[in-house]
Amino acid sequence: MFGPAVSGGVESFPCLQNNLAPCQPYLKGSYIAPAICCEQLKETITHDLKCLCNILAHTDVLKSLNITLVELMKLRKDCGINLTQSVCKVEI
């Protein structure tokens, strides 16, 4: 599970806490993300893109979890999801 919630932290981004929690172990390793991780990421993109874009805009939240933007974008690629950060400029 993601780290403890702090004011303005993880709890401010429910998609991170609820949908992407299964992905955390795979963000730091060289393992292939399991199907559930990719399914949750796709679910977030489909139903909660604004939350995901907010995470991309507030990289301090990622830093507090010891996750980099590069690692998060690698997960997207590993899951075969064709999505760029530019989609967030439209969504936010």
42-90: pLDDT as tens digits: 888 888 888 888 888 887 877 877 778 888 888 888 889 887 767 787 5
pTM: 0.71
Q: What are 1-12's pLDDT values in tens digits?
A: 344 444 455 567
Q: Specify whether the CB–CB gap between 33 and 79 falls below 8 A.
A: yes
Compute the average pLDDT of residues 31-39: 85
